Structure 1
Amino acid sequence: MGKIPNKTGQVAVISGSPRSLTFGIAKRLLQLDYTVIIGIKRVEECNKKIAKLKALGISTKNLKLIEVDYKSLKSVSKFAESVLERCIRIDLLICNGGVINAPYEVSDNGLECHFQINYLSQFLLTNLLLERMKYTSKAKDSPCQIIYVTSVAHFCSRLDFLELEKSKVYNAMKCFYDSKLCQVASMLTLDRVLKTEGANVQCFAIHPGMINVDLWESIGIGSILGSAICRPIETAADTILWPVFCPEFESKGGLYMENGKAVTPSWEATNSYTQQRLWGRSYELIRKYI
């Protein structure tokens, strides 16, 4: 990524986990003097990550970690409330919370955990922070961005709405694929709604490439092989942030992207029936929290 002006005073919110990608993104943003707020489940596990940033000479005075459990919509709501209390502006929201190939588990809200952690909690967080982002874009007279860290795996999904929330026949990888499809389909709908409103908030769903050894180990690929086929964290972080800083995308949104380029998403993600049914059901599930 080339020379980018400092973003002093701007605020980025990241949903994530203690895994490396979250802090790879935070590293890039801190280098640009963003104020960075990370919603993370296990704050105590992040001390080594913060120490590594400091060892690289990166100031962490503008980094704030707030505990949140993405298996609980109530916890997500409290996290959003804390962000809004702290920040009069939000310029960038990166939804990076994720789980893959997890054993079957039901969330605090009675939902399959891939669906809730990867998709629904991110959908709720977006809705709770969206008005502040609209206000910010008007105040600075330039776009704000919402980025969903998704996966090329969404091409493998065919949604079964009867199985989506509570899997009767559990297949962990299918649940992961479905959650990533939900991200892309919802992003396309949200961007269309925002354009209709005339809001200057742009939405993207981005596949960062094969990354993060922790995730590869969770699906049975060893750390050595995972390291061989994964791209560096810095490259993945730049891929995610590319539409934020690349002038080519300044007036665009509603894009699924791979390797810095817009790519046509899956047929299922662009299907109007899928989008409408998912959008309506998502609001039903989060209604009491917004």
Structure 2
Amino acid sequence: MAMLKSAAVLTRDNVAFLLQGVPCMYRELLFSVKPAGELPSQEGRVAVVTGGSRGIGLEAVKTMLRLNMHLIIGSSNVEKAEKVLKPLAAEVDGKGKLEVWPLDLTKQKSVHAFCQRFLETGLPLHVLLCNAGIMFYPKHELTEDGFEMQLAVNHLGHFTMQHLLYPRLRAAGTADRKARIVNVSSAAHNCGGVNFDDIMLSTTYSSKGAYFQSKGAQILCTKYLAKKAQEAGDNVTCNSLHPGVIYTDLYDYTTIYKVAAPVLKKIWRSPKDGAETVLYACLSPEAEGVSAAHFENAAVYRSAGYTEDAQQQQKMWEASCELCKVGTFGQPDN
């Protein structure tokens, strides 16, 4: 019976992925990439970026540096990230500033250490770009905190960062130029919602289902936090986005990526293309003041219906707070 249930879940998730993925790729073939537009100087402004040393994140970092921004990149492999990122300083003629700090999103203690280090610098925080992620992790594995791997990296690690760094964002935002939280999600959230009865998927695991859930969780909490910030009168916006179907190593765990890479490279968008929507959400004057939105192709786009449900938003928020041991969001832990 367990094997039949597992097979049914896998079939369901594969079918959902095809039904959502094929139209998404078709849509992107029909419409050209919309650029982020003219972006203002970021001199004197600070951003924290996860996943900034490869793929979409790396392309976004290049532009942020050229705009004279101070960037702090969280990476699980500092030495490897520095080899990629440090040469960028020479390419932008001394503009901007870049630091790479250790950050392992699978470990809550690492997230706390990273955020504490930032708070101790006294720096303001104008943009928190939660870009790092994993996709279709092949096996059911729990982190040391007891979190399913994709939920930990894609959502819960970033949720804790937002909690701990929120006071600095709130202090840096102004009525004319708000601080921004940007969560890089995926159109794959349309393929399935959150399994609140078994959020760690311990009974039946599907690599695709776990990914769908993690991305849905991101958007639910994005919208909930945006409403909280607005109700509190905080000058902080919070948005999510789908960067596009991008040819990056995010697909390392998928068979199709390994087999059909030469073809996919020609039809999928490039990391530079994907960075346009990221930059739009983080820096564009057009997105100033926009909150609780979901972006695609550098414009506001619809997210799945369940992500608009206030009860599901609150349920995911409360579950995230409980899992991450958050007492009062945005206030120091006791």
1:125 corresponding residue in structure 2: 161
Aligned-pair CA distance for 1:47: 3.8
Distance 1:44 1:254 in 2: 36
Distance 2:57 2:194 in 1: 28
1:227-246 CA distances to partner (integer Å, 9 max, x unpaired)?
Answer: 12332222211211113433
Matched position secondary structure for 1:101: coil
Does 2:123 align with 1:85? Answer: no
Q: Give the letter aligned to residue 66 of structure 1.
A: W
Does 2:60 align with 1:25? Answer: yes
Distance 1:77 1:212 in 2: 32
1:143-190 CA distances to partner (integer Å, 9 max, x unpaired)?
Answer: 111000000000011221122224321101100000000011110000
Count of aligned pairs between the two proteins: 289
Matched-pair contact (CA < 8 Å) for 1:43–1:66: yes
Q: Give the letter aligned to residue 73 of structure 2.
A: I
If you compute each CA radius of gyration, which structure gives the higher value, 1 or 2?
2
Matched position secondary structure for 2:193: coil
Does 2:207 align with 1:169? Answer: no
Distance 1:251 1:50 in 2: 31
1:276 corresponding residue in structure 2: 314
Matched-pair contact (CA < 8 Å) for 1:27–1:58: no
2:78 corresponding residue in structure 1: 43
Does 2:140 align with 1:104? Answer: yes
Distance 2:252 2:87 in 1: 23
1:195 corresponding residue in structure 2: 230
Matched-pair contact (CA < 8 Å) for 2:43–2:96: no
Indicate how the Cα distance of structure 1 residues 272 and 4 shifts in structure 2: closer, same or farther if over 3 A, else same. Answer: closer
2:187 corresponding residue in structure 1: 152
1:247 corresponding residue in structure 2: 285
Runs (4+) off by over 6 Å: none
- Between stretches 145-154 and 204-213, larger displacement belongs to 204-213
Aligned-pair CA distance for 1:141: 5.0
Q: Give the letter aligned to residue 277 of structure 1.
A: K
Matched-pair contact (CA < 8 Å) for 2:65–2:92: no
Distance 1:159 1:5 in 2: 38
2:252 corresponding residue in structure 1: 217
Distance 1:228 1:58 in 2: 32
Unmatched tracts of structure 1, length 5 or more: none
1:238 corresponding residue in structure 2: 276
Matched position secondary structure for 2:203: coil
TM-score (norm: length of structure 1): 0.93
Percent identical among aligned pairs is: 28
1:96-145 CA distances to partner (integer Å, 9 max, x unpaired)?
Answer: 1211111321111011011111001111100100111110114x852111
2:265 corresponding residue in structure 1: 227
1:71 corresponding residue in structure 2: 106
Unmatched tracts of structure 2, length 5 or more: 1-35, 328-332
1:165-224 CA distances to partner (integer Å, 9 max, x unpaired)?
Answer: 243211011000000000111100000010000111011101001124312332121332
CA RMSD of superposed structures (Å): 2.0
Matched position secondary structure for 2:180: strand
TM-score (norm: length of structure 2): 0.81
Matched position secondary structure for 1:75: helix
Q: Give the letter aligned to residue 124 of structure 1.
A: T
2:50 corresponding residue in structure 1: 15
Matched position secondary structure for 2:68: coil
